[in-house]
Structure 1
Amino acid sequence: MVKKMQASELKTDKGTYMLYANPGVGKTYALGYLPGKTLVLDIDGSSSTLANHPNVQNIEIWKLDSSDMWDEWINTVADLVTNKETYEKQFDNICVDNLSELFKAQLEDLGKKGKNNGVPSRGDYQREDFMNLRSLRALNNIDCRIILTAWETTDTYTEPNGQFFTRSMPEIRTKILNNFLGLCDVVGRLVTKVDEDGEVKRGLILQPTQNIYAKNRLDERKGCSVEEFVLDRSDEDV
């Protein structure tokens, strides 16, 4: 059923966010700074970095079984969607950490269960693409912030005039990359910088360039610290 509303009624306190970077840069730790209560769906086993986070009391972790990731993921999403009213009361944020490993583990699982000597078939790739897009759309119907993490990869893009650029982007299957990013309100590339005192500072690039996949359709920020990746706008009237 079509839901009708005035533009003035739209809220920006919830949304879908993508955070990507190379392994070890601090994606998982950054999830600890999200405002409110956070559920982390641990796909790659990196949740141990949250053990000493200053906001550890606000974080619940579900560790998914990587040896049975196809069914494990389907059942987890089904539980969240079926019981969304319960989870909406418990959590402000639902985090998938991380998509790159989720896709790899699913394909490995499908190959193991198939008839191609453990190698995924072409049909397995298509099943995975469609199922994961359906999963994200389903998660987006839960009244929580959805935060996705992914590893970083690069490719080379050539313009019609022959000029080429190396682009940084989330490590997601090329065929569905734009679909996934299109369903996100904010896409940020996590980067680090060492200051004059030798301390590592982490921030996010939210402004797209020819070299970086990024976007921000919730506000005017072009970059931010990891602590401010997601702003608490629950009290705003816009």
Structure 2
Amino acid sequence: MKVIHAADIKKPTALRILYGNPGMGKTTTIQYMPGRKLVIDIDGTSSVLKGKQDIDIVEVDPNNIREDLPKLLKDIQDNYLDQYDSIALDNISELENAVLTEYGKKGNNHGVPGIQNYQQLQFFELDLIRYMKAWDKEILITAWEMTDEFTDENTGQSFTRAYPQIRKPILTNVMGLALQVGRIIISPKTGKRGITLAPSNAIFAKNQIDDRKASLQEDLFNGKEIPQKNGNH
């Protein structure tokens, strides 16, 4: 039995999930990841990183993504992993759409994916996430935002709840694999982008990396607190 003393555990590299509505700045947040960065562009929005330093971008064939993406990840692991400090998968919501579309096109149900395809998608996603997590790199996975109506069982109060657009049967699994889950928003007062890291009845979030409840976009990866003004954030 191999025993690891808790006092000897080093700070782990982080798997983060960042979600928000289109245009909120998920992809531009990648520029703030540490070191040299590799972006796996699923949704075709990497053009917003034009001119940024230390960023390489690779794309996958959306019509053959079930075969192309695992091959790409293996190629990265075998031949390129040492060249990068940070890797981003942008974004997992479009990955789900592309996989289901491919199942539909290649199936026998007039372009509609079958029930078993949704289960296959879920195992496909979880396998990919675990594969990337084992790289011991800074990993960022982006997702679009979904909302639903949620009622607190204790108080009976209803909320509009925001969460990553990841299939609900595996949403808890995916969030459990991540050390940090944040929701990106734009402040209506300052126009600055901020990231919520503290969970609430209305927001899916978590932070097992540090004690921050929120972060500015540019400070997500460096651990800085949001600057305080007159004693308030």
Structure 1, unaligned runs of 5 or more: 233-238
| 2:23 alignment partner AA | G
Q: Deviations over 1:69-94 (max 9, x none)?
A: 1111221223234x1xx433211111
Alignment of 1:49-198 (within 5 A): 49-52=48-51, 56-81=52-77, 83=78, 86-161=79-154, 162-195=156-189
Please name the residue that 1:235 is paired with.
Answer: none
Please name the residue that 1:208 is paired with.
Answer: 199
Partners of 2:17 and 2:179 in 1: CA distance? 8
Partners of 2:206 and 2:62 in 1: CA distance? 30
Structure 1 position 5, deviation (Å): 1.9
**Mapped pair 1:219 → 2:215:** no
Say whether the 8 Å CA contact 1:88–1:143 is kept in structure 2: no
| 1:71 alignment partner AA | E
Say whether the 8 Å CA contact 1:69–1:105 is kept in structure 2: yes
Structure 1 position 3, deviation (Å): 5.5
Say whether the 8 Å CA contact 1:70–1:110 is kept in structure 2: no
Q: Deviations over 1:115-167 (max 9, x none)?
A: 11111001110001011101111111102111100000111122324322211
Say whether the 8 Å CA contact 2:152–2:201 is kept in structure 1: no
SS in 2 for 1:30: helix
Structure 1 position 208, deviation (Å): 0.5
Say whether the 8 Å CA contact 1:191–1:202 is kept in structure 2: yes
SS in 1 for 2:186: strand
Q: Deviations over 1:191-216 (max 9, x none)?
A: 11144xxx520110001011000100
Alignment of 1:15-34 (within 5 A): 15-34=14-33
SS in 2 for 1:143: coil
- Percent of paired sites with the same residue: 41
Of 5-14 and 87-96, deviating more is 5-14
Q: Deviations over 1:169-190 (max 9, x none)?
A: 0001010100000100000100
Q: Aligned-pair RMSD on alpha carbons?
A: 1.7
Say whether the 8 Å CA contact 1:106–1:128 is kept in structure 2: yes
Q: CA 1:30–1:156 in 2, change beyond 3 Å: closer, same or farther?
A: same
Partners of 1:17 and 1:224 in 2: CA distance? 13
Structure 2, unaligned runs of 5 or more: 224-233
The answer to which structure, 1 or 2, has the higher relative contact order (CA under 8 A, 6+ apart) is: 1
Of 64-73 and 172-181, deviating more is 64-73
